[in-house]
A and B are shown apart, each in its own frame.
Chain A
């Protein structure tokens, strides 16, 4: 994991070199000590949650609690696996919604980014601003009209419906990023393709798409993580237990009867909900961080 967050945009800059020149050995140790302290603080909650999830259910709900399991058990995971409609139902709901969101974001943002970066269109700036508008309009405030619209369109309790909400949320960033990606490609490449007699679509497919692939991966990555984690819209729009996504299912696990919560199962659920994000982050961190920065800083 050493190259985490050393994406192209985060190259070593001036300050760093400068600090190293004037640094004493003691200072280096101090930085190292603080680093280890921070790592401990950041990882402890996750480690404790994981350890609780592999305790026996009784040990996980024991009062007072223990830091470490006295016996390993997968029973908490089994509880979650068979929770109501079954964990797999919820995981597959979340996955389907996430992949539909990715498809929608790419399907809309790639052509839009292409047009915005490459075409002379009247009122282009206005259109661009319109596409970014939903960034300014918090979707949390739009739940009511969207809910009413979707219940007429029969899009509640529907994977596509929730994916549309998530796309509303993610589209501005996606368009922004795709436009930047297309802008980064030299004009000469396109001109050469035109000379060869390629049509507009062919140019997009053969010349541009391979070059904006990193941008597309970033768009997909962000769409996935946002969609997988999104809570309030899923809570409102998915009312049937068979259409719950993972976070909504977790709230079910977290409320017990007269406050008797199955803590071990809850932490097992938390771990299950965290794993895909962490895996993707570790595998595709370069895209993630560069995307974050080009979306926010550039």
Chain B
């Protein structure tokens, strides 16, 4: 506990003054978090509050309202002191000048050096840094060991390529009518950028364009992955309900126990621990086209300070604290949440827990797309991304689906 405080020395007198003033005026900070990241966010804030004078009051905002409320409140000069939001909106907000520049503070912070690269990337715009990873998540591949055994597969030997996923899914699907080899949420754009795009990226593909001239949906892996999905759909290896799943069953499809293999996220681990402690499953990195190719989509929330925060000094201190040993180990790792520093991935809490360790590897190997207009390109219900998947998998028009989506993505990116 003493060490992280020492490490904050570069902040010097300013933070001491800030600390004093904050206790004198008992100035509470306000912080927003999107509803779906409220649980880990609350754990972190509680820890901060128990060791600091300046208290943070955390408010959960429904996911679909958070970016609107952030944008409107910054424009009105009434933003909260801190905000935790889906990292994917970082580029839009950085370009708009909505966030406080944290470059000097973070560059002189030794803890920042070991920060997961994907978070560094997403929070940097024109060489300036505007935030750090807060409550991380990453996509992984999970498989049902029980079904693997029943199908005569080695339960400790997960698929290493998309083709192996297909082969193993075929064997599991043959077990009986109610058992399926594979699952993906067919109407959920966010779920698929999370678990399907990394398979393409691992296979060498580029997905989202940064501007109108950038590569969009380039690489054979796009076609190969969609084609394998299509074949599995045709062969009945994926339940029919997948076509209309807008994310409702993204998690529960696997936990019911009749799905062999599916993409998921690190959040699944703590959920399983709590609700299905006896469920026998394995965790590995999302594969590509050839053995050894792996990736993951780095997700979760970043924390940043909106422009005009009335308690900027204390808020800055919180950002530095997020990277401290105390926050990383006692706030995140202790609660089975991944750390955002590579040097702490191997810690006492994760010891002997293969699943968490696999997830931590995924976080280091993972990617995050740095693009503007992510919402229109990917997240909206009628985005080119989800349209491509649906047309390719459910309608079988793989080639034209990719081409149309590419054209629309470039059109959006050039705006």
Q: Give me the interface of A with B, judged by CB distance under 8 Å.
A: 84-85, 147, 151, 154, 156-157, 235-237, 239-241, 251-252, 254-259
Complex: A257 Cα to B63 Cα, angstroms: 10
By the criterion CB–CB under 8 Å, are B73 and A239 in contact?
yes
By the criterion CB–CB under 8 Å, are B60 and A151 in contact?
no
Complex: A258 Cα to B274 Cα, angstroms: 14
Among B62, B70, B76, B251, the residue within 8 A (CB) of A251 is: B62
By the criterion CB–CB under 8 Å, are B61 and A252 in contact?
yes
- The chain A residue with its CB closest to the CB of B32 is A241
9 CB contacts below 8 A, A to B, read: A147-B72, A151-B75, A156-B76, A157-B78, A239-B73, A240-B78, A240-B80, A255-B62, A258-B267
By the criterion CB–CB under 8 Å, are A258 and B78 in contact?
no
By the criterion CB–CB under 8 Å, are A235 and B65 in contact?
yes
Complex: A252 Cα to B34 Cα, angstroms: 11
Shortest beta-carbon distance, A158 to chain B, in Å?
A: 9
Which stretch, B35-43, B105-113, B128-136, touches the partner chain A? B35-43
Complex: A254 Cα to B251 Cα, angstroms: 19
By the criterion CB–CB under 8 Å, are B65 and A156 in contact?
no
Question: Count the B residues whose beta carbon is within 8 Å of the partner chain — how many?
Answer: 26
By the criterion CB–CB under 8 Å, are A259 and B72 in contact?
no
Complex: A221 Cα to B65 Cα, angstroms: 31
Among A84, A240, A259, the residue within 8 A (CB) of B60 is: A84
With a cutoff of 8 Å between Cβ atoms, the chain A residues found around residue B73 in the complex are 156-157, 239-240
- Mask for B35-60, Cβ within 8 A of A = 1, else 0? 11011000000000000000000011
Q: Counting CB contacts under 8 A, is B5 at the interface?
A: no
By the criterion CB–CB under 8 Å, are A257 and B35 in contact?
yes
With a cutoff of 8 Å between Cβ atoms, the chain B residues found around residue A239 in the complex are 68-70, 72-73, 76, 78
By the criterion CB–CB under 8 Å, are B251 and A156 in contact?
no
Complex: A135 Cα to B90 Cα, angstroms: 40
Q: Counting CB contacts under 8 A, is B290 at the interface?
A: no
Shortest beta-carbon distance, B97 to chain A, in Å?
A: 15
Complex: A235 Cα to B69 Cα, angstroms: 9
By the criterion CB–CB under 8 Å, are A255 and B63 in contact?
yes
Complex: A284 Cα to B232 Cα, angstroms: 63
With a cutoff of 8 Å between Cβ atoms, the chain B residues found around residue A258 in the complex are 36, 251, 267, 271
- The chain A residue with its CB closest to the CB of B39 is A257
Complex: A257 Cα to B34 Cα, angstroms: 10
Shortest beta-carbon distance, A50 to chain B, in Å?
A: 25
* Contacts known (A151-B75, A156-B76, A257-B35); A84 close to B69, Cβ less than 8 A: no
* Contacts known (A151-B72, A239-B69); A252 close to B60, Cβ less than 8 A: yes
Shortest beta-carbon distance, B25 to chain A, in Å?
A: 18
Complex: A235 Cα to B251 Cα, angstroms: 30
A-B pairs, 4 with minimum CB distance: A239-B69, A239-B73, A255-B62, A156-B76
With a cutoff of 8 Å between Cβ atoms, the chain B residues found around residue A241 in the complex are 32, 59, 61
With a cutoff of 8 Å between Cβ atoms, the chain A residues found around residue B59 in the complex are 84-85, 241
Shortest beta-carbon distance, B147 to chain A, in Å?
A: 23
Among A157, A237, A251, A257, the residue within 8 A (CB) of B36 is: A257
Complex: A177 Cα to B355 Cα, angstroms: 69
By the criterion CB–CB under 8 Å, are B38 and A257 in contact?
yes
With a cutoff of 8 Å between Cβ atoms, the chain A residues found around residue B61 in the complex are 241, 252
Among A151, A252, A259, the residue within 8 A (CB) of B76 is: A151
Complex: A236 Cα to B64 Cα, angstroms: 12
Q: Counting CB contacts under 8 A, is B248 at the interface?
A: yes
- The chain B residue with its CB closest to the CB of A157 is B78
With a cutoff of 8 Å between Cβ atoms, the chain B residues found around residue A237 in the complex are 72
By the criterion CB–CB under 8 Å, are B63 and A157 in contact?
no
**Which chain B residues (70-108) contact chain A, with CB distance < 8 Å?**
70, 72-73, 75-78, 80
Shortest beta-carbon distance, B246 to chain A, in Å?
A: 11
Q: Pick the most buried of A85, A151, A239, A256: most chain B CB atoms within 10 A of its CB.
A: A239
Shortest beta-carbon distance, B74 to chain A, in Å?
A: 9
Q: Pick the most buried of B39, B65, B70, B76: most chain A CB atoms within 10 A of its CB.
A: B76
* Contacts known (A84-B60, A258-B36, A258-B271); A154 close to B76, Cβ less than 8 A: yes
With a cutoff of 8 Å between Cβ atoms, the chain B residues found around residue A85 in the complex are 59
- Mask for B230-243, Cβ within 8 A of A = 1, else 0? 00000000000000
